[in-house]
Amino acid sequence: MTPSLPDIEALVRIVRHAGDIVMAVYQGAIDVRSKADASPVTEADERAEAFIVPALRALAPGIPVVAEEMAARGQADSIGRSFWLVDPLDGTKEFINRNGEFTVNVALVHDGSPLLGVVGAPALGRLYAGVVGQGAWVEDAQGRRAIHTRPVPAEGLSVVASRSHGDAAALDRFLHGRVVAQLVNAGSSLKLCLLAAGEADLYPRLGRTMEWDIAAGHGVLAAAGGGVQTLDGAPFVYGKRGFENPHFAAWGRLPAS
């Protein structure tokens, strides 16, 4: 049985406020430290997470929370059939480099799949949200509008790849034999949102990611008509031990099996 969904507008407000917290740090000096796995962390990650986690507990009491910095400290909640996945600052390298392509990600997962996702891109003035089975939308300076994935154009795939991570040779091997019209680089979970908005068709990820990196974007994408698969075409599942992802491909329109 699918759980009752939390108030999506309340969740949007949480993500927006977390974005304001991130931007307050972004506009000043950025102090960068390294975690145990050598990945960077900033005050923005920690302050945004410190706001999001209790806000989610108040919004949906009883639903466990797994957030990136909590997990790094070994303090993530024990998960159940439903749980939150939170990345308070996805694209920390983009944040440090001040290119604007970083996001605040919150997803609700049930039975291994995202039910909903909210992705805020505060430096870009943009927010994406989606509820699976109900649709997806983007909100920016022009207002709020529905978004949908698109069929692959006749000229070929528009492929998005990571701006800060990636193996060019592995990507070339994955794309061999496919008709590719263009390759675009983007940071953070924005890559999944580009697919959801019908601005791209395929995002292969052939490097290390964690569940909180992609769950919110996956939720938006699934609500917009797309999906994520492992490289052998199997469904992508959340709640894995250690929360580390296999390599995957995100599609605006999933290939026919």
For the stretch 54-64, pLDDT in tens is 999 999 999 99
Distance CA(63)–CA(80), nearest Å, equals 8
Distance CA(130)–CA(114), nearest Å, equals 10
Q: How many helices (H) and strands (E) does the chain have?
A: 7, 14
This prediction has a pTM of 0.94
DSSP H helical ranges for 27-163: 43-59, 68-72, 92-97
Distance CA(86)–CA(66), nearest Å, equals 6
For the stretch 111-130, pLDDT in tens is 999 999 999 999 999 999 99
For the stretch 139-155, pLDDT in tens is 999 999 999 999 999 99
Which tokens belong to 4? 């009752």
Q: What is the DSSP letter of 212?
A: H
The angle at the Cα of 30, spanning 27 to 33, to the nearest 5 degrees, equals: 155
DSSP H helical ranges for 30-111: 43-59, 68-72, 92-97
Q: Do the Cβ atoms of 199 and 105 come closer than 8 Å?
A: no
For the stretch 175-203, pLDDT in tens is 999 999 999 988 889 999 999 999 999 99
